[in-house]
Amino acid sequence: NIHSSLSSGTVASPFKSAAVSSIPKKPGLDPNDFNNLRPISHLLFIAKVLEKTVASQLHSHLTCNKHYEHFQSGFRPHHSTKTALIRIANDLLLAADSGLISILILLDLSAAFDTISHSILLNRLSSLGITHTPLRWFQSYLTGRTQFIQLKSFSFKPSPVTSGVPQGSVLGPLLFIIYLLPLGNIFRKFCIQFHCYADDTQLYMSKPKQKLGGVVYAVQCSEDRPDVSIEETKQQLHTSMAQHRRAVQGA
């Protein structure tokens, strides 16, 4: 039961088996194209109850000890898309009014939930003061997981899961933002303003003249970076209407 799992620091094998189905990433996408699909893990109801109990305690620990990234929206109470958009839009508008040119870089992490290294994640948890029995529980939760594809009434043979956290789980999103915590320190080191929402990250700087070519490279090369791949980087110039044409022509 839940109490014995928490007190012993172990998670039973049936709680770690997931039936995987797929849903379109966005409405209107072709469901026959695998690139448009997102895998969702379906867990036992009692497994989700256990995860919800742990997630509540983990959230309290992160909040009381101020471990959350201040500029992390999504997967947190009272931190939605609105909080992210209001801050970024406000910063960019203030910069434009001050005659500055803002460069915004949008980082899209590919297969973010699936590429999480379990050993790195456990080290992250340990560094946040989660040790002894609680840490053993997370180690048990992450190891020995299996998943199988389910199509209607047909189920394929289970396969082991050696990395990542299950999408569709209760703990997955919370563990994901813990995994990405070092990103904030990397950006601050280079004096980059940023805001994270779920697995999307927005980087921006506002200066008269500034080169940002090494920012993404710095993230990729940092020794403390999360082991995730950057699939797509988009750069946009945000200026006031009077500066826009001049900025683009001079880029």
pLDDT at residue 233, as a whole number: 46
Asked whether residue 83 carries a pLDDT value surpassing 60, the answer given is: yes
Global pTM reads 0.77
pLDDT at residue 13, as a whole number: 94
pLDDT at residue 164, as a whole number: 92
In the numeric block, the tokens 């039961």 are attached to 1
* Percent of the chain with pLDDT strictly greater than 70: 82
pLDDT per position as a tens digit, 17-66: 999 888 888 888 888 888 888 888 889 999 999 999 999 999 999 999 99
Domain boundaries, the chain: 2-250
If one compares 117 and 21, the residue with the highest pLDDT of the two is: 117
Asked whether residue 137 carries a pLDDT value surpassing 60, the answer given is: yes
Residue 220: CA count within 13 A, CB half-sphere: 11
Mean pLDDT estimate for the chain: 83
Place 246 in a pLDDT band, splitting at 50, 70 and 90: low
pLDDT at residue 50, as a whole number: 96
pLDDT per position as a tens digit, 173-206: 999 999 999 989 999 998 889 998 877 889 898 8
pLDDT at residue 209, as a whole number: 57
The H or E element containing residue 22 is strand 17-24
DSSP-assigned beta bridge partners for residue 206:
102
pLDDT per position as a tens digit, 141-154: 999 999 998 777 77
Query: What DSSP state is assigned to residue 76?
Result: B
Query: What DSSP state is assigned to residue 33?
Result: S
Asked whether residue 249 carries a pLDDT value surpassing 70, the answer given is: no
Q: How far apart are CA 190 and CA 218, in angstroms?
A: 9
Mean pLDDT of 79-94: 89
Give 198-201 contacts, CB < 8 A, sequence gap 24+: 198/73, 198/74, 198/75, 198/173, 199/109, 199/112, 199/113, 200/106, 200/107, 200/108, 200/109, 201/106, 201/107, 201/109
pLDDT per position as a tens digit, 199-224: 788 989 887 754 544 544 555 566 56
pLDDT at residue 155, as a whole number: 78
What is the amino acid identity at position 122?
L
Per the rule left: phi > 0, alpha: psi between -120 and 50, beta: everything else, 97 is alpha
pLDDT at residue 240, as a whole number: 46
pLDDT at residue 35, as a whole number: 80
CB 147 within 8 A of CB 158: yes
CB 109 within 8 A of CB 229: yes
